[in-house]
Chain A
């Protein structure tokens, strides 16, 4: 059962399970978005706090993961505005992941993703990491579905070029 299908069947009492099932995926999305594991976990926590606050509304949504992913992207987008003054000193980490089975490959991936233009990166991550549909991604980004396709396509082309890697087109 994929994440989207799983979350569509989320019951009222399953908020903890939903968080547990999606946390790593959420952090991964934000690592790719922010390029920083520490920031990603911080943003994930902020996103989940919103999830808990809006729990009643989220529970009845068709796709709560889409909602959470959108919140997370918005959180990361305006992160710099919300960083507390005192926290700035400890958030000055360059791109880092600190762990993972393929540290070198992951770092390279993060650097390449980080170099994507803002909207291409957002479209790519929402489509191919958060697994939102084109329609959901368009709604999250506030743009037309055609724009999502265009942005995603250009991002994928650039990923292939910069990573110099053969990638399956199945998810295009």
Chain B
């Protein structure tokens, strides 16, 4: 008779090949290189980053709608043309803005009127989707229809970036470069060779393993660095020098290497349910995460976490989890406007006192969405609402479709946008399928199954798979190779494999859909 252990051990795959520690260290090394890039990318999001609304996706198609409109959409479904069963009423009840105005007042007071969030709220009281950003100086400069932001780091350091690509339509696989300026960082941490250009010494580092090249130029209080993939050394050098000039407020337009232009890259670390931003000097970067959910008990009960302490932060009750040597970084968590915000350090070896995190959290300011989008001035972001709407118009939507869960931050690339909408529609139709089973509604179930079976042909899915396949072809980040055909086969199998509601709920949970697995 088998034991329980014997039974469970049948899940151990005999043919699985363990990786060597050398391979694992190689992965760690490549990730570190990417992390440097991602850190800068995350900072880029200072401008658009903690945008708490993609309402424009289903808005007028030429921009973003405000929360007042979101509420109306949430209750009534999409615009007339997008909601097959909506009643078509336009329900812009002015009373819906009451809460928004209250938020706006709070914003104005909390930022001493010095930030545009408060100022915007006075001129546009209904535009209340807001964002947390580090306090100034946060400047954006626009050069020849190109995007550049600098001086975005607080506290204690400065960090700017330039992102480059040769192909805006496929930014992930194009030659990306980031330029940043770090204070209190020594060149000695980088290995490479020195190149002298116009009397300036530039440190160059190449890594054939991941096709990356880095260039560093020491200037004044810090270092300007370029880290790029598919980027020639001379381009990296030129960019590093250009960045140095830019910091001196020199026009960059004639310094961008030929064939490149500045765009906003995708955030390689973004996830479907959270956004993050990293800022601060090299050895004490602070990371801010946000999730549209309450604080997780699980986080507070982790084995290695120190004892949580209650702290007052941003006029509410927060939780500080102390640093635990070698295990967990210090964390500060609080809930605000339906989101859980987490402030932590990117390096878990660094202890940070609660006062520091609380001070940092209190210093975060709100910016409203229109102001942020305007300052961001990204070509992609300008067209993403229309792009999203075109995908949604061509996709069957359940009755009473609620776009509110689309609010997870502003996608900065077509990859992010397509992934998010594809995922959201999928979850929505799974929910519709589940509801049809629970209500024993045969026609409704058949309709849901028909739509789900056709999912590989949804416009957004086609676009998304094309991007993913492009990434795979370039071997950029995904080592597996999901072809379109394989994906279609998986979807067909899914409809025949998931046979119980519990399984469906589990699957939807794995996908990140907001459904609970019943106990």
Contacts and interface: CB of A to CB of B under 8 A. Distances in A.
B326 A54 contact: yes
B8 A106 contact: no
Interface string A127-156: 011010000000111100000000000001
A81 B274 contact: yes
A148 B274 CA distance: 32
Given A85-B415, A86-B471, A172 B303 contact: no
Contact of B482 (A37, A84, A89): A89
B238 to A, nearest CB: 30
B416 A94 contact: no
B20 to A, nearest CB: 6
Contact of B1 (A16, A45, A167): A167
A24 B10 CA distance: 11
A142 B301 contact: yes
B405 to A, nearest CB: 14
A131 B464 CA distance: 42
Interface in A11-55: 15-16, 19-20, 23-25, 27-29, 31-32, 34-39, 41, 45, 48-49, 51-55
Nearest to B8: A129
A82 B1 contact: no
Contacts of B4: 128, 156, 159, 167-168, 171-172
A97 B497 CA distance: 13
Contacts of A39: 510
Interface stretch (B11-19, B53-61, B119-127, B434-442): B11-19
A90 B482 contact: yes
Given A118-B517, A129-B5, A109 B10 contact: yes
B153 to A, nearest CB: 25
Contacts of B272: 80, 83, 85, 88
Contacts of B467: 86
Interface stretch (B21-29, B133-141, B248-256, B362-370): B21-29
B273 A24 contact: no
B419 A89 contact: yes
A55 to B, nearest CB: 8
Contacts of B498: 94
Given A80-B512, A85-B271, A128-B5, A24 B16 contact: yes
A99 interface: yes
22 contacts: A24-B13, A24-B18, A34-B510, A35-B510, A48-B24, A79-B510, A85-B270, A88-B423, A89-B468, A90-B478, A100-B10, A105-B10, A111-B503, A113-B8, A125-B8, A129-B8, A131-B5, A141-B303, A142-B302, A159-B7, A167-B4, A168-B3
Interface of A: 15-16, 19-20, 23-25, 27-29, 31-32, 34-39, 41, 45, 48-49, 51-55, 57, 70, 74, 77, 79-90, 92-97, 99-102, 105-106, 109-111, 113-115, 117-118, 124-125, 128-129, 131, 139-142, 156, 159, 163, 165-168, 170-172
Given A96-B497, A97-B13, A140-B303, 12 more contacts: A19-B19, A19-B24, A20-B18, A23-B17, A28-B13, A82-B271, A83-B512, A92-B490, A101-B10, A109-B7, A170-B3, A172-B4
Closest CB pairs A-B (n = 9): A23-B18, A28-B12, A90-B482, A142-B301, A28-B11, A129-B8, A168-B3, A80-B512, A94-B497
